[in-house]
Amino acid sequence: MVFLQLNCAHMSKPLILVTNDDGIAAPGIKALVSVAQTLGDVIVVAPDSPQSGMGHAITIHDPIRLYAVEVFPGIEAYECSGTPVDCVKLAKHVVLKGRKVDLCVSGINHGSNAAINIIYSGTLSAAMEASLEGIPSIGFSLLDYSYTANFEECKPFVRKLMAYVLEHGLDEGSLLNVNIPKLAEHEIKGLRVCRQADARWVEEFMEAIDPRGQKYYWLTGKFENDDTDDDTDVWALENGYISVVPSMHDLTNYKAIPGLKGVENL
Amino acid sequence: MVFLQLNCAHMSKPLILVTNDDGIAAPGIKALVSVAQTLGDVIVVAPDSPQSGMGHAITIHDPIRLYAVEVFPGIEAYECSGTPVDCVKLAKHVVLKGRKVDLCVSGINHGSNAAINIIYSGTLSAAMEASLEGIPSIGFSLLDYSYTANFEECKPFVRKLMAYVLEHGLDEGSLLNVNIPKLAEHEIKGLRVCRQADARWVEEFMEAIDPRGQKYYWLTGKFENDDTDDDTDVWALENGYISVVPSMHDLTNYKAIPGLKGVENL
């Protein structure tokens, strides 16, 4: 395992790919790079602009640009004009060209990706894309949407989780969706392994008129949770824990298969 | 159930929301509208431009436009500047304003959304968004990527499935991912309820130089399937069946939870 590599001076350090969806200049990815470089060699491939809410979007109708940039001192880094998922694909096929990545980390996202947010999140979709490529991956999010969020308090936990996955790996095709409460380090009660809460957005659209007299809409809304069991990510976060949800790309609703067999007689 | 409504002249017809990701002018959505209007009242809210590969992206950093258009004779229709998921959100909150939708159908997509394609697909993400809002929903895709694909052969099956879901509903939070082989009606062997195959894309990037001398990349690749069991959507399609995969938005990898309990001691 990679743990052994870390303890054998004659072997190479693990290679860690870092990406995000808030863009390569966001404070969250800077925090993540600073933790990652204490554990291995780091390569960054991240969007050149904010890509929040891009989900698992990929760029197929347009060309994509990729430029080497100096953003993190001493770290090989590239900015990409595409989506977070595009970044992972370009990292694998263009930047790394066959070099084996030991871990992909995405984030630290400015804001929650708990519960249903995972399907809208570029941060988690990038981590899922890495898991599809067989790379153990973790998406990190801090429950603070502000650009100037304080990422220092959560760094020790982020480091522990990255070291854990480097040592133990993850199940094939699995990724971790890690959300961190906005608390001081000593206030965080620990880590909880949980399921995705069945909570969702109750939305509205702001309706307004632009300078040319044309109507437009802008998405707004609030998050609501009726899933009050104590085994969910939302419960963990509301109770001072960091939530760790093992996630995957198989969307089959296996329980629904038997009840649909009548479809085969149509 | 809605079946009863269909047979009671004094009750209203079911309301069917139609969307897609190839854009409101695509032949696939025209075919779907023509089937839907034989089963109920139809409202269309679809993207104003092709949105393939947009996954579950939503527009949060920009305003969205929504305009009533006359595209389908006698049908209330709107084009939207956002993603397929935006279309469903705008349909619910702006166009329908509380009117109950009995069924949402998305497509018919020009090309496969079997196996892992579901997570990249705007067509299926729109259907999933509807399912999140408690609307039974189906995403339809024909295994023919051409703009001039022939949608006539599959129409009888599309109609049967829509009528089935209108009559029986679906499990809460479930949607159907329906893929249709490119075959004549009489060659289609029937419908198979199956799971999502663990097949994936083996990708590359075309690298080229633009007119200004700058390098760009363009995603390309081929689909490969090592998951050869006979209970998958890819098997069904390769053997002449229409695949019907019940899908959902809970991405939790429940099997992985016990093996991760060590994380709670970090």
Which of A253, A255, A261, A264 to mutate to test binding with chain B, by most B CBs within 10 Å of its CB? A253
Query: Is 50 exceeded by the pLDDT of residue A10?
Result: no
Query: Is 50 exceeded by the pLDDT of residue B8?
Result: no
Query: When comparing pLDDT for A8 and B76, which is higher?
Result: B76
Structure tokens at B251: 């991405």
3-state secondary structure B41-87: EEEEEEECCCCCCCCCCCCCCCCECEEEECCCCCCEEEEECCCHHHH
Give the model's pLDDT for residue B173. Answer: 87
Q: What is the mean pLDDT of residues B188-199?
A: 96
Distance to chain A for B127, nearest Cα, Å: 13
Backbone conformation region of residue B93, classed left if phi is above 0, alpha if psi is from -120 to 50, else beta: alpha
Give the model's pLDDT for residue A217. Answer: 97
Record: contact A93-B244, CB cut-off 8 A:
no
Q: Which residues of B touch A53 (CB under 8 A)?
A: 57-61
The CATH classification number of B2-198+230-249 equals 3.40.1210.10
Stretch (H or E) spanning A200: strand A200-209
pLDDT classification of A9: cutoffs 50, 70, 90: very low
pLDDT classification of B6: cutoffs 50, 70, 90: very low
Q: How far apart are CA B120 and CA A109, in angstroms?
A: 21
Q: What is the mean pLDDT of residues B169-186?
A: 96
Give the model's pLDDT for residue A1. Answer: 39
Query: Is 60 exceeded by the pLDDT of residue A177?
Result: yes
Structure tokens at A196: 């995705």
pLDDT classification of B11: cutoffs 50, 70, 90: low
Give per-residue pLDDT as tens, A46-83.
999 999 999 999 999 999 999 999 999 999 999 999 99
Distance to chain A for B56, nearest Cα, Å: 5
Give the model's pLDDT for residue A7. Answer: 45
Q: Which residues of B touch A204 (CB under 8 A)?
A: 93
Q: What is the mean pLDDT of residues B126-146?
A: 97
Structure tokens at B6: 């269909």
Q: What is chain B's mean pLDDT, rounded?
A: 94
Chain centroid to Cα B211, Å, comes to: 37
Q: Which residues of B touch A85 (CB under 8 A)?
A: 55, 120
The CATH classification number of A2-198+228-265 equals 3.40.1210.10
Give the model's pLDDT for residue A209. Answer: 96
Structure tokens at A241: 């824990």
Q: What is the mean pLDDT of residues B53-64?
A: 95
Distance to chain A for B103, nearest Cα, Å: 17
Q: Which residues of A touch B196 (CB under 8 A)?
A: 250-252
Q: What is the mean pLDDT of residues A191-212?
A: 94
Record: contact A190-B217, CB cut-off 8 A:
no
Query: What dihedral angle (degrees, nearest 10) is formed by the CA atoms of A131, A133, A136, A140?
Result: -50
Q: How far apart are CA B249 and CA A56, in angstroms?
A: 13
Give per-residue pLDDT as tens, B141-165.
999 999 999 999 999 999 999 999 9
- The 8-class DSSP code of residue B101 comes to P
State the residue for tokens 């953003």: A71
Domain boundaries, chain A: 2-198+228-265
ipTM of the complex, rounded to two decimals: 0.91
Question: Which is nearest to B65 in space by CA: B78, B52, B77?
Answer: B78
Whether B161 contacts B211, CB under 8 Å:
no
Which of A175, A219, A225, A255 to mutate to test binding with chain B, by most B CBs within 10 Å of its CB? A219
Q: Which residues of A touch B198 (CB under 8 A)?
A: 173, 250
